[in-house]
Each structure stands twice: as structure tokens, then as C-alpha cells.
Amino acid sequence: MHELGITENIIEIALKHAQGKKINRITLEIGQLSAILPDSIEFCFDACRLGTPLENTVLEMIEIPGLARCRRCGTEFAIAEPFGICECGSMDLAFIQGQELQIKELELEELCV
Amino acid sequence: MCVTCGCSEGAEVTLDYLGTKEDPAEHRHVLADGTVITHRHEHSETHDHHSPRDNAALHAQAHRTTLTLEQNLLAKNDQLAAQNRTWFQEQEILGLNLVSSPGSGKTTLLTRTIRDLQEQIPISVIEGDQATSNDAQRIRETGCNVVQINTGTGCHLEAAMIQKGLHELAPSPRSIVMIENVGNLVCPALFDLGEQAKVVILSVTEGEDKPMKYPHMFRASQVMILNKIDLLPYVEFDGDRCVEYALKVNPKLTIFQVSATTGEGLEDWYGWLKNTMRSLVKI
């Protein structure tokens, strides 16, 4: 259940950067090869935000599909799991997309003076 | 690298409004430090922004600002892990992160390795478990230095725990620090501790398809030890297929097949430890 600790990180990072401003929305990017389940993050977020200024914050999650590049022949192809085999027979793959695990942005609301 | 502006990691956070430029409510502020904030007012279109009536009170409207972070959620752990890694390098210490399911024989392999090698290389241990210091006591019986970390409800060790553990342990330079992670093949794959290598241990009493079932861990590891091979005649475990699966997930994996009880195959593992140790020592 590493999603719990990761959700605590999300809240900590968001509150730090918001500097007291109201957070309307947190947008996450979660790669499909990242070993993180968006459903678990959502579940943990609902539990962790109680009693924090994030009770009305929308959690938006962008799931990024996996993309691999064969280190032997350079072919790029979609993968759903963190392993696979290229058309050329090689299994030596570099993941070029799908390992993201980040807060992309925050939408803040503040009074302009 | 930041996809918005091309800045590198660790660079200053920039504030951006990611809206359309035609938006009449959008405007820009330049702060004293040069930060440009572009955002919009959420108020009626009839409001004249620059009319003589405009004053601070009228202007006190809600703004929506989009703050672009692109911050890795594990950045804090990664930063501490990098500090640990630098410290290991400076001290010429080989730090290994031992990961497995519960019951793979990790502690038996560890005590055997310590007993067989302690005359040649000093070894100390950071022992991670959710509860009890049973494993630490088993390790201590070998005469080596050990620190027990109990993670409580936590399912993995994190770099900050290792930093504290190393402070307590005070390992000697040119030695090996074995970090025995919590028995779990999922979470420890994500948390870098600053080790030089992750060593994943699997035993023949488990399923041979574990590398496929827990691909993140086998991909994150540099070494796989297949333990308890003395039990192969008594279990249905296809060793060749297991190796095939492991290499499918991670073609660069170095694999040793051993029995920590009989000692079979351990010489190859010890050879790897000694060679890796040698490559760390600066001349």
C-alpha cells in the first residue's frame, strides 16, 4: 500500500507550493508502467485530505500509456506491462513513456490585490 | 526535463497560466524578482479593469492561477537516496538492498554470507521489518554490527530511515552494508535507498513465474538469487523457466542459483560481491 505514503507526499507538496492559497485542483500524471494504481491514490486521497485545506480540492489524474523503444533496432511500440518483446526478438527495452509519477500542476485561487 | 519550458530538474518553479491568449480576462503581473504570473479574473465581463473607479477593493477578486510543478512525487526520497549514495561512494562502501517475499530465506542467506566472508570483508547490516528484532538477533549472533529498523505499518524502507540507520551503524570504510528490506515484492521497487544494487531473492518453494507477477521489482534489480535449490527434487519448480521469465523482464539481470543451507552455488555470489567491492575502491 505504498499509495498511502505517496498520497501524503502529494498533499505535502501541494500545501507547500500553495503557500496558504486555496487549491481548486491538483493534476497528477501517472504512467501506466509506474506501479501506482490511480484508484488507490483516489481512495487514499479521500482519506488523507480530511481535516486539511484540501477537502474541496478536485484530484485530476492523467494516465500516461506505456511506450518502449527497442535498444537493438530502435523500434518504438506501446506496452501495457513493464516488459515486452520487440518485433526483432529483442527484450532489451528502454521505457520512454509511462513511468511518470508527478504533480503536473495546481490550480490555485487567491484574491488579487 | 520540464516539458513546458525545457528547464532541468531542480530549477525554479515557474508560474504559468495555461489558457488561451484571446481570453479577455487574462492578464500578467511581473513580480519584483522577475517572475511573470499570467492569470485571469473570474468576474463579470462588464467590469472595466482600468477604469478610474478601479481601486484595491474593487480589484480584490478571486484569481485562478495554474501553478506548473512537474514535481516527482518521490523527489524527496530520491534526494535523500542520492545523499546516501554519495556517502557510500566516499566511504568506498558497497551498499546492497536485499528484497524478496517473506520466507525466501533472506536472513539465512545473509547470516551464511557474513560467516563465510567476514574474515575477508567487514559486513554490517540494516535490518528492516514491520515488527520484532528477531532477524537482527540472528544476524548479531554472527558477531556483525546490525541495526534494526521497524517500519510499523510501513511496507518498505525509505532513504531517510537508511540515513538514520547508517548514522547508528557507523560502518567502517571499505566494507559491505547489507540492507535487508521488508519482505515485500511490490513497494520496495519504488523507493531508492541509495544502494549500488538491488538484489532480489526468490526461492524454489515459490512460483517460478514470480518475475512476471512482480515485474517492477525484477526490473529494478541488478542481481537475482534463486535460493533453496537443494529442495528442487521435492518441489514442482522449473528453474530454467524461472530464469527465462526473469531475463524476459530484465535482460541485464545477473542470476545466481544457490542453497544458503548446503552452500551450493554460493562461491559465485561471493565472487560477485568481491569483484563489485574491488571496482568501488579508489586507487
Name the residue ranges covered by the structural domains of chain B.
14-68, 75-280
Over residues B182-219, the pLDDT tens digits come to 999 998 999 999 999 999 999 999 999 999 999 999 99
**What residues contact B38, with CB distance under 8 A and at least 6 apart?**
B15, B16, B17, B26, B27, B28, B29
Could you tell me the residue range of the domain that residue A48 belongs to?
A: 2-65+98-109
Residue carrying C-alpha cell 556517502: B87
A61 within some domain: yes
A77 within some domain: no
A75 within some domain: no
Q: What residues in A contact B248, CB-CB < 8 Å?
A: 83, 85, 91
User: Considering only the top CATH level, what class is B75-280?
Assistant: alpha beta
Q: CA geometry: angle at B197 spanning B193 and B199, to 5°?
A: 100
User: How many CA atoms lie less than 13 Å away from A107 in the CB half-sphere?
Assistant: 16
pLDDT at A106: 96
Cell of B247: 531475463
Cell of B139: 544476524
A20 within some domain: yes
pLDDT at A113: 59
A87 within some domain: no
Over residues B48-103, the pLDDT tens digits come to 444 444 444 444 466 788 999 989 999 999 999 999 999 999 999 999 999 999 99
Whose CA is closest to B171, among B61, B258, B103, B84? B84
- Interface probe for B, chosen from A11, A29, A32, A83 (most Cβ of B below 10 Å), is A83
Query: What span, in angstroms and rounded, lies between the C-alpha atoms of B164 and B158?
Result: 10
A86 within some domain: no
Q: Where are the beta strands (DSSP E) in A32-84?
A: 58-64, 66-70, 76-79
Over residues B112-154, the pLDDT tens digits come to 999 999 999 999 999 998 888 888 889 999 999 999 998 887 7
pLDDT at B31: 52
Query: What span, in angstroms and rounded, lies between the C-alpha atoms of B171 and B146?
Result: 10
Q: CA geometry: angle at B176 spanning B158 and B262, to 5°?
A: 105
Q: In total, how many domains does chain A have? A: 1
SS3 B200: strand
CA distances from B249 to A93, B96, B253, B274 (A): 9, 21, 9, 26
Q: Which element (helix H / strand E) includes B245?
A: helix B239-249
- Residue in B60, B186, B189 nearest the CB of A111: B60
CATH number for the domain including A20?
A: 3.30.2320.50
Interface of B with A (CB under 8 A): 13, 18, 39, 41, 56, 59-74, 76, 154-156, 158, 186-187, 189-191, 212, 215-216, 219, 247-252
- Name the minimum distance, in Å, from the CA of B13 to any CA of chain A: 9
Query: What span, in angstroms and rounded, lies between the C-alpha atoms of A74 and A92?
Result: 11
Is the separation of the CB atoms in B217 and B186 below 8 Å? yes
A41 within some domain: yes
A16 within some domain: yes
Residue B225, φ and ψ in degrees, nearest 5: -110, 120
- Name the minimum distance, in Å, from the CA of B75 to any CA of chain A: 9
Contact A2 B66 (CB under 8 A): no
Is the separation of the CB atoms in A29 and B4 below 8 Å? no
Q: Which element (helix H / strand E) includes A102?
A: strand A101-111
- Name the minimum distance, in Å, from the CA of A10 to any CA of chain B: 7
- ipTM of the complex, rounded to two decimals: 0.85
Is the separation of the CB atoms in B227 and B260 below 8 Å? yes
Over residues A59-101, the pLDDT tens digits come to 999 999 999 999 999 999 999 999 999 999 999 999 999 999 9
Is the separation of the CB atoms in B114 and B121 below 8 Å? no
Q: What is the largest CA-CA distance in chain A?
A: 62
Over residues B160-174, the pLDDT tens digits come to 999 999 999 999 999
Q: Is the pLDDT of residue B26 over 60?
A: no
Is the separation of the CB atoms in B17 and B26 below 8 Å? yes
Percent helix, strand, coil in chain B (nearest 5)? 35, 25, 45
Query: What span, in angstroms and rounded, lies between the C-alpha atoms of B148 and B126?
Result: 6
Closest residue, chain B, to A111 (C-alpha): B62
